[in-house]
Amino acid sequence: MSNGLIIAAVFIAAFVLTWVLRRYALASSLMDIPNERSSHSVPTPRGGGVAIVLSFLAVLPLLGVMQWLPWSAVIATVGAGAAVAVLGFLDDHGHIAARWRLLGHFSAAAWALYWLGGLPPLLVFGYTFDLGIFGSILAAVYIVWLLNLYNFMDGIDGIASVEAICVCLGGALLYALLGASVLALLPLLLAAAVAGFLCWNFPPARIFMGDAGSGFLGLILAVLSLQAAWFKAELLWSWVILLGVFVVDATFTLLRRLLRGDKVYEAHRSHAYQYASRQFGAHRSVTLAVLLINLVWLLPLALAVGLGYLDGLLGVLIAYVPLLLLAIKFKAGQLEKAGL
């Protein structure tokens, strides 16, 4: 069985499963009803991200059996991903207290890190640092933050899907350019699963991802970035650059709300991308802008870092400064009554 056939099968499976989940949601009245905190105005089926989870995770044991992926990677990804997806699914269908969600998230992160071998040595300005146990703690915080920020950033049609596809294709391209095409399969499979879902989620969305899908994507992207860093230390910085749009908007918004004393666990519409979507009056224009930023700005910098032409941390700083300026321009974290 060829790589292309497996990738196509995952895409088709995600597409069909999303259609099935949409029919089920409509029949069962599992709808996202707009409220004052919503960025949409029409009741829309939710929970479509389960299609991404099932189509992606189902193929991984097969790849382990075929010895295309090490079993440690399969166990890390399937175990942590399934746990986060189930937790998100339960939260989609009934509220789970934040402390229990966080406990589940850190448990999933610990599971993934155990099988991955912890945080790889960090390369900073040419010096390598092995942080040991502290590195594993830092990596767990990184995974949980990326998991949650992906949930925060899944607020307008197509944006979370487009971001995941761009990041995965960028990561796969880096592997290919470094002569490790076999390692590119995992991010390509995730991109294929998300693309199948995006066919139904592109603006105007006919189904939403839900917490099961967004949290799952955040965790898997974090795991993939750490796996890449074990192959080559510079690649961690490359993945952090590729994730820049989401990392900067979510982090800046959270810090601004924390400094103001807001209850950060409460829903809001104060991310830069949400203000931008209201300013331009459309989700599609903002989602396409994210696509453009990823392709024109972040991808070239990520390639320069991964191929050794630019220091990793310096590359992150160069990549993030314009994104920070955009976040400020579009009022990320500003009180909603003072914004658009």
pLDDT score of 39 = 64
The CA distance from 108 to 102, in Å, is: 10
Percentage of residues in the chain having pLDDT higher than 90: 84
Residue 294 in this model has a pLDDT that exceeds 50: yes
pLDDT score of 1 = 64
Average pLDDT over residues 1-28: 94
Residues annotated as binding site for Mg(2+)?
A: 151, 211
Among 67, 42, 96, 300, smallest CA distance to 185 is for 67
Please indicate whether residue 235 or residue 31 has the higher confidence score (pLDDT).
235
Q: pLDDT grade, residue 42 (50/70/90)? A: confident
Residue 334 in this model has a pLDDT that exceeds 50: yes
| Predicted confidence (pLDDT) per residue in 208-260, tens digit | 999 999 999 999 999 999 999 999 999 999 999 999 999 999 999 999 999 98
Among 91, 112, 6, smallest CA distance to 55 is for 6
48 three-state secondary structure: coil
pLDDT score of 38 = 59
Residue 34 in this model has a pLDDT that exceeds 80: no
Structure tokens at 135: 């590195």
- Kindly report the pTM of this predicted structure: 0.96
CA dihedral over 215, 180, 302, 316, signed as positive or negative: positive
Q: Are 85 and 215 in contact (CB under 8 A)?
A: yes
Residue 8 in this model has a pLDDT that exceeds 60: yes
Q: What is the Cβ-side half-sphere exposure of residue 214, based on CA atoms within 13 angstroms?
A: 24
The CA distance from 212 to 262, in Å, is: 25
Radius of gyration of the chain (CA): 19
pLDDT score of 180 = 94
End-to-end CA distance of the chain: 52
| Predicted confidence (pLDDT) per residue in 63-118, tens digit | 999 988 999 999 999 999 999 999 999 987 777 888 899 999 999 999 999 999 99
Please give the distance of CA 100 from its chain centroid, rounded to a whole number.
Answer: 21
Among 310, 327, 312, 328, smallest CA distance to 246 is for 327
Please indicate whether residue 132 or residue 39 has the higher confidence score (pLDDT).
132
| Predicted confidence (pLDDT) per residue in 141-151, tens digit | 999 999 999 99
Mean pLDDT of the chain, nearest integer: 93
Structure tokens at 194: 């998300």
Residue 339 in this model has a pLDDT that exceeds 50: no
Residues annotated as binding site?
A: 151, 211
| Predicted confidence (pLDDT) per residue in 151-186, tens digit | 999 999 999 999 999 999 999 999 999 999 999 999
Instruction: Catalogue the E-assigned strands of the chain.
Output: 31-32, 44-45, 122-124, 127-129
The CA distance from 24 to 34, in Å, is: 20
Q: Which residues are CB-contacts of 97 (< 8 A; sequence separation ≥ 6)?
A: none
The CA distance from 302 to 142, in Å, is: 19
Among 3, 1, 2, smallest CA distance to 172 is for 3
Percentage of residues in the chain having pLDDT higher than 70: 96
Residue 36 in this model has a pLDDT that exceeds 70: no
Structure tokens at 33: 């009803």
Neighbouring-strand partners of residue 122:
129
